[in-house]
A and B are shown apart, each in its own frame.
Chain A
Amino acid sequence: MISSKKAKIRVPNRLGLPGQNFESLWGILKDAIDHIYADQVSELSFELLYRTVYTLVLRRKALDLYSHLESYLGDKLDELKQNNLKDVEGFELLQKLFEIWKSQCRCFKLISDVMIYLDKVYCKYERKMETYDMGLESFKKHVINPIKENISEAMLSDINKVRSQGSLQVPHADTWKGIVGMMETLEDEKDNYFSAHLEPVLLRETENYYKNAINYRELLPVEYLETMKKLKSYEFSLDQKFINGDSTVKVTTVLESVLIWTEQFMEAIPILIRDSLTNNNVELLKELCSLSSEEKYCTKILDCIKNCIWEDVTSLSVDKNSRRRAQVATQWTTKVIEIYNYYQSLLSTVDLHIFIFDGQDNSSLNLINEVIGKYLNQDAVQTCEFITLHLDAFAKSTEDKRDINSVKESLEDCVKIFKLISEKDVFENFYKKQMSKRLLHQRSSIKLEKWLVKQIKGEMGTFFTSKLDGMLRDINLSAGLSRSFKPDENLLPDCVFTSQILTMTSWPFQTANVLDENVILPPQMRQYKEEFEVFYNRKYNDRTLRWAHHLGFMEIGFQFKNGYYEISMPIYGAIVFLLFEDHEELTTEQISELTNMPEQELQRQLISLSLAPKSRVLKKKPLSKTISPQDTFCINYGFTSPTQKVKLQTIANITTKSEAQSQAGQDSLEKERVIEVNAAIVRIMKSCKKSIHDELFQQVSETLKDRFTLTQSVFKKSVANLLNKEYLQRDMEDTNIYHYIS
């Protein structure tokens, strides 16, 4: 029923041009192309051409038309090349090429307008290039490709010519820009023609040019830098005249690497850096930093800076054999702080992008901390000692109520360095010892001590300073107690008694021989002691009070022949001295009997009283350097001193004490560390129940890193300890695994 109703024939062919075969229709178009090339466009009829194309497409000749067009354009372009570009080179080539390019673009546009029906119906659905793009492609194939080396060469020799003149008046730049623009318009596989072909050559040639352009060897480092800067800015301005931003960046990078990564400049960098750092030359430093943003370069600069700091700190001399250790320490610490502050202020003025790359925080402060920290931790014990000694000196010297605020600043600097020490427990030990002495002997202002402890606390946390706080608290409480203790006035009318009640755990004396209960005190003192015990027990009756005479001291006023002097001395010394209230003369043996003092201690006191050069308050017979049991002692009435107050220096322990002490110090330090490690291990194991040796080590050292660097030996000792005490148990099968036993 439907087949009968084909009332109409299909219409399409009617709209096309009647008659005429492909050849004659193509002839019309070919003629039109000739006209377009001859710039006689106004003689063409769009109506005719459009309908010709339309007819060809309708007759399914689109493919033929397309390929005819392609090959005809090819012929045209070959002819053009042959007539215009043969045997032409240098700038002339570029100029002619650019002219041809401009005229070709116009032609292609007109042709593609005529071919619009082909584009719309055929190319779009067959996924072929539209005629305009096909024209560009042919241009590339027929004109550019065969002479691309010539173009590159012409371009680069022209550019190099301008470079060697160093001029920024570049009349050729527009043509260059045109050529680059042409190449950027042309596609080449995934990229455009410029980045695929000319850009690599440009980069390579730039590299070669600058490698050979200047004899760097003859230049001083600073001159080198100057030249480099000039070349860079010149090349940058030149590039901007003819290539786009991205390519400019690439050229700059190449230039940088050519200029920067030369042997000469690599040698020059440390020198320049040294120069800038030593002379506080911020400008130079900034310049050096801004030369390149490449990571490799930044690292190089940073390394140089680090080296300089390292050189500066390691060149500090320490006279280890000096007797005046405190002075050496102060000098050293001051120097270190000076260097630290110097670099900090210097580097912070440079806006160092070089510090930030690779996501790492390379702030200048971290850099300084890293280097100085490394130096400080080279000999951590000495560092701690020196810093504490320095602090000690400071604390003592501000005794006379000088304005604390002025001191504070330099003390803050100390805290800055203190942060960098990895073995902070060593520091704590030293500090504790010195602080306790200061407190007991009231050699510093409490206010300053409190402030210092607060600074340390701010840096390290409450836990770290708990003992220091305890000491300060004791001193505070003691002062209160002393005030409220009112002994019988008649007992010793001209005597002042001050008590210092120390909590045993807070103070660093536990290990020393605590006290000699057996020492016989002079009667007055004994009475004071008893009265105070009664008073204290009334107040805190469940506390045990023990006396630590060796920590106390006494000030005794005495009328010598040449004047009245107030001599302050340790309690033990005072006990000996007071004997002479009742005796004219005593032998060593007698003194020993009367005081019941251990021999060694007695010897020490006697040497201090009779042999120390500035405080010889007792006379010894015979006048030898040693104390023998038969020596006799009496008051040295002829004692003189430049000041009214005299501090009696107790000599150090007679045995080669310092060595023994430091040995003992080391031992006790390790013991303390083991205890802390134990605690840390138990804390960790409690939560995870089971752990592998290495992992556990990692975790523990992480938790303790603020206090000290964990060593394997300490760790092993601690583990052995815990295994012994059955906190831990080794795994039956894998001895590397520990289990927590709850």
Chain B
Amino acid sequence: MDKNFNDLCYACRIGDTDNADRLISTGVNLNGLDEFDNSPLFLASLCGHEEVVKLLLERGAVCDRDRFEGARCVYGALNDSIRDILVKRDISKAVDINQPFVMHISSLFKDWSLNTHDIQISPPKEINDNGLKLHKFLLSTRSLKLRYNLSTVWNNKSKLTTDIPTSVLNIITKFIYLIPVLHEINMSDYNTLLQISLQWDLELLSEYLNRLKDVADSSEKSTLMAEYQYRFTEDARDQLKRFVNDNILKCSIDLHSTTNFEEGIQFAENCVAFPDLLLLVENFNEDKRIYPCHLAILSRANYFRMMFSLPMEEKATYQEYKDFKDSRRLPLISLPSCDFEVAEIILRYLYHDSSEIPWQYAIDVLLMADFLLEDRMKSMAAVVMTQSKDFLEKHSIFDILYVAWETKMERLEQFAAKVIAFDLKNYTKETELKNAIIKSSQMISVREETDTIELVDDIRFYLLEKYAFEPDDIDILSEEKDIQLLKASGILDYQQDVAIIDNLLDELTLQA
């Protein structure tokens, strides 16, 4: 955890938005301080990385001008545009933390387009009213009490009535769905709310309510809200993480040739995951494993959303299941063949934004994310590939390059070019470099009208960086005669490297 925080601070310094995004999703404390008492937001602000500042604020970094840390961010801002962003982010307004998984879960509260809810809760008098359309798996994840109820007294029920007042029920369910709701709490509901939150084991909510009693100052109240909103998010992340581990991954069924498929289904039925989809994964050894899943969550990936939005077979099957509630009819969908680990990484990501991708699986995750049309996951996988030291030990840089082309990941293309440039002499020995250059040049006719080879351009660019030159320096130094100075500047090495590239191009009779 500590390492992640330090990495985050570093990403904030250098302005690596993708990596910062990935690290934030590991659940680090965004408002923590490093050994010099700097917050990530302060670092990004000081170093002038506007995109990172925006990202941090979106994900819940606090910038309270009335406090030392916040004021420091504002005064330290490198430029006016960043300062404006910080100033505009008024702490007293409703906090909308935009952790991507939080946003998705919040959207489920109102978005019924995929018909994913499986339980309705309404007050007794309005029994005809549809009440709130909710998801069992989420209720059981967020509240131990509800989990207990769902597997005992509420077992197999799809409609419930409750005598909780509507306004309180609304707030509680919104809280469960991670919708920022603290600003909506009406003091007249306070007591009931506190009572229900205790009864339903919503510890953080009751803790907040108890502390709220002692706070009168509105600014202090805002700070308290911001703090708790952040804690709610992290709490939910942990809960979901446990849920995925205990109720999905551990409940997966291995289909050996000996195991009966029906039996497996039975097992899924009994676990408390309340799945509405079964995800079939086959690895390269042709082992098959089935994960109990939820369309509500899988639909985060565009691929699944489309699959169940279009009026095709999958949608019909899903609807059939919903209508008959027959677990033997649970829709079964499959992923392309991949290691189980890859599928699990994907699931963790979809359920709770987990960005922990072991480097060994990064390429596979990248390709799978590409297949699933899930761009954010793609860039996270790419970040892992560029950050990991071990990765290059196992993979050829050209593999990375080709994958980059395959998946259109610019970050990886540049990374490959950089690696090649920094170790040019060794790579020249490999014939694969020539192949790569030829491939890159063949992309010209279709990609760009201009007469350049992107790979060569990128390598040349990173050669400059390698010897710490600005483009102008080359011109200036080319008129320099002093050998000592030339040697010291590194220009000679640079020229050697450039010559290598030129020779290669000559050999290939390419112009660039």
Task: Please give the residue numbers on chain A whose beta carbons come within 8 Å of chain B beta carbons, in ascending order.
Answer: 1-3, 5-8, 10-12, 14-16, 41-47, 50-51, 54, 58, 110, 113, 116-117, 120-121, 125-126
A85-B139 Cα distance, complex, nearest whole Å? 57
| Contact among B284, B315, B338, B393 with A5 in the assembled complex (CB-CB below 8 Å) | B393
* CB-contacts of B371-422 with A (<8 A): 371, 373, 392-397, 399, 402-403, 406, 408
The residues of A that contact B333 with a CB separation of less than 8 Å are 47
**Chain B residue at minimal CB-CB distance from A12:** B406
The residues of B that contact A11 with a CB separation of less than 8 Å are 363-364, 367, 403
23 examples of A-B residue contacts, CB within 8 angstroms: A1-B426, A2-B396, A2-B426, A6-B395, A7-B394, A8-B363, A8-B394, A11-B403, A15-B336, A15-B367, A42-B312, A44-B313, A45-B312, A45-B313, A45-B314, A46-B306, A46-B314, A47-B314, A50-B307, A113-B310, A117-B373, A125-B408, A125-B446
The residues of B that contact A6 with a CB separation of less than 8 Å are 395-396, 399
Measured CB to CB, the closest approach of chain A to B93, in angstroms, equals 37
- With contact pairs A7-B394, A116-B373 given, residues A46 and B334 touching in the complex (Cβ less than 8 Å): no
A117-B373 Cα distance, complex, nearest whole Å? 8
The residues of A that contact B472 with a CB separation of less than 8 Å are none
Measured CB to CB, the closest approach of chain A to B155, in angstroms, equals 32
A125-B367 Cα distance, complex, nearest whole Å? 18
A2-B433 Cα distance, complex, nearest whole Å? 12
| Contact among A16, A42, A45, A120 with B311 in the assembled complex (CB-CB below 8 Å) | A42
**Chain B residue at minimal CB-CB distance from A55:** B336
Q: Check if B336 sits within 8 Å of A126, measured CB to CB.
A: no
Q: Is B98 on the interface with A (CB-CB < 8 A)? A: no
A3-B447 Cα distance, complex, nearest whole Å? 29
| Contact among B316, B338, B430 with A3 in the assembled complex (CB-CB below 8 Å) | B430
The residues of A that contact B395 with a CB separation of less than 8 Å are 5-8
Q: Check if B447 sits within 8 Å of A125, measured CB to CB.
A: yes
A305-B394 Cα distance, complex, nearest whole Å? 93
The residues of B that contact A116 with a CB separation of less than 8 Å are 306, 373
The residues of B that contact A16 with a CB separation of less than 8 Å are 336
Since A50-B306, A54-B371 are in contact, a sample of 19 more A-B pairs with Cβ atoms closer than 8 Å, ordered by chain A residue number, is A2-B397, A2-B430, A3-B430, A8-B363, A10-B403, A11-B364, A12-B403, A14-B338, A15-B336, A42-B311, A42-B315, A43-B313, A44-B312, A44-B313, A46-B307, A47-B333, A125-B408, A125-B446, A125-B447
Main secondary structure of the interface of B (DSSP, over half): helix
Q: Check if A51 sits within 8 Å of B336, measured CB to CB.
A: yes
A46-B331 Cα distance, complex, nearest whole Å? 13
A50-B336 Cα distance, complex, nearest whole Å? 11
Measured CB to CB, the closest approach of chain B to A316, in angstroms, equals 73
The residues of B that contact A43 with a CB separation of less than 8 Å are 313
**Chain A residue at minimal CB-CB distance from B337:** A14
| Contact among A58, A110, A121 with B310 in the assembled complex (CB-CB below 8 Å) | A110
A44-B315 Cα distance, complex, nearest whole Å? 10
| Contact among B312, B392, B399 with A46 in the assembled complex (CB-CB below 8 Å) | B312
The residues of A that contact B338 with a CB separation of less than 8 Å are 14-15
**Chain B residue at minimal CB-CB distance from A4:** B396
Q: Is B232 on the interface with A (CB-CB < 8 A)? A: no
The residues of A that contact B307 with a CB separation of less than 8 Å are 46-47, 50
Q: Is B340 on the interface with A (CB-CB < 8 A)? A: no
Query: Can you list the 10 inter-chain pairs with the closest CB atoms, starting with the nearest?
Result: A15-B336, A46-B307, A45-B313, A7-B394, A44-B312, A46-B312, A6-B396, A42-B316, A41-B311, A46-B314
- With contact pairs A10-B403, A45-B314 given, residues A15 and B371 touching in the complex (Cβ less than 8 Å): yes
Measured CB to CB, the closest approach of chain A to B397, in angstroms, equals 7
The residues of B that contact A44 with a CB separation of less than 8 Å are 312-313
- With contact pairs A2-B426, A5-B396, A10-B403 given, residues A15 and B337 touching in the complex (Cβ less than 8 Å): yes
- With contact pairs A12-B367, A46-B313 given, residues A113 and B336 touching in the complex (Cβ less than 8 Å): no
Task: Please give the residue numbers on chain B whose beta carbons come within 8 Å of chain A beta carbons, in ascending order.
Answer: 284, 303, 306-307, 310-316, 333-334, 336-338, 363-364, 367-368, 371, 373, 392-397, 399, 402-403, 406, 408, 426-427, 430, 432, 446-447
The residues of B that contact A3 with a CB separation of less than 8 Å are 396, 430, 432
The residues of B that contact A1 with a CB separation of less than 8 Å are 426
A117-B394 Cα distance, complex, nearest whole Å? 30
| Contact among A5, A41, A50 with B394 in the assembled complex (CB-CB below 8 Å) | A5
- With contact pairs A10-B403, A15-B367 given, residues A46 and B310 touching in the complex (Cβ less than 8 Å): yes
A8-B399 Cα distance, complex, nearest whole Å? 9
| Contact among B368, B393, B446 with A126 in the assembled complex (CB-CB below 8 Å) | B446
- With contact pairs A42-B313, A44-B313, A46-B310 given, residues A15 and B368 touching in the complex (Cβ less than 8 Å): yes
Measured CB to CB, the closest approach of chain B to A122, in angstroms, equals 10
A536-B346 Cα distance, complex, nearest whole Å? 121
The residues of A that contact B368 with a CB separation of less than 8 Å are 15
A10-B403 Cα distance, complex, nearest whole Å? 8
**Chain A residue at minimal CB-CB distance from B427:** A2
Measured CB to CB, the closest approach of chain B to A263, in angstroms, equals 57
**Chain A residue at minimal CB-CB distance from B443:** A125
A2-B311 Cα distance, complex, nearest whole Å? 50
The residues of A that contact B367 with a CB separation of less than 8 Å are 11-12, 15
Measured CB to CB, the closest approach of chain B to A389, in angstroms, equals 76
Measured CB to CB, the closest approach of chain B to A462, in angstroms, equals 57
**Chain A residue at minimal CB-CB distance from B311:** A41
* Residue from the set B314, B426, B430 with the largest chain A CB neighbour count within 10 Å: B314
The residues of A that contact B371 with a CB separation of less than 8 Å are 15, 54
The residues of A that contact B399 with a CB separation of less than 8 Å are 6, 8, 10
Measured CB to CB, the closest approach of chain A to B252, in angstroms, equals 19
* Residue from the set A3, A110, A116 with the largest chain B CB neighbour count within 10 Å: A3
The residues of B that contact A47 with a CB separation of less than 8 Å are 307, 314, 333-334
The residues of A that contact B396 with a CB separation of less than 8 Å are 2-3, 5-6
A121-B409 Cα distance, complex, nearest whole Å? 11
A2-B307 Cα distance, complex, nearest whole Å? 42
A44-B313 Cα distance, complex, nearest whole Å? 5
**Chain B residue at minimal CB-CB distance from A58:** B406
A2-B446 Cα distance, complex, nearest whole Å? 31
The residues of A that contact B306 with a CB separation of less than 8 Å are 46, 50, 113, 116
The residues of B that contact A121 with a CB separation of less than 8 Å are 408
Measured CB to CB, the closest approach of chain A to B405, in angstroms, equals 10
A15-B311 Cα distance, complex, nearest whole Å? 25
A370-B403 Cα distance, complex, nearest whole Å? 81
The residues of B that contact A110 with a CB separation of less than 8 Å are 310
Measured CB to CB, the closest approach of chain A to B290, in angstroms, equals 15
The residues of A that contact B432 with a CB separation of less than 8 Å are 3
* Residue from the set B313, B368, B426 with the largest chain A CB neighbour count within 10 Å: B313
Measured CB to CB, the closest approach of chain A to B279, in angstroms, equals 11
A47-B396 Cα distance, complex, nearest whole Å? 32
A7-B363 Cα distance, complex, nearest whole Å? 13
The residues of B that contact A10 with a CB separation of less than 8 Å are 399, 402-403
| Contact among B336, B397, B426 with A14 in the assembled complex (CB-CB below 8 Å) | B336
A7-B394 Cα distance, complex, nearest whole Å? 6
A58-B426 Cα distance, complex, nearest whole Å? 31
Measured CB to CB, the closest approach of chain A to B317, in angstroms, equals 9
- With contact pairs A46-B307, A46-B312, A47-B314 given, residues A14 and B284 touching in the complex (Cβ less than 8 Å): yes
The residues of B that contact A125 with a CB separation of less than 8 Å are 408, 446-447
The residues of B that contact A5 with a CB separation of less than 8 Å are 393-396
Measured CB to CB, the closest approach of chain B to A339, in angstroms, equals 66
The residues of B that contact A113 with a CB separation of less than 8 Å are 306, 310
A47-B308 Cα distance, complex, nearest whole Å? 10
A14-B282 Cα distance, complex, nearest whole Å? 11
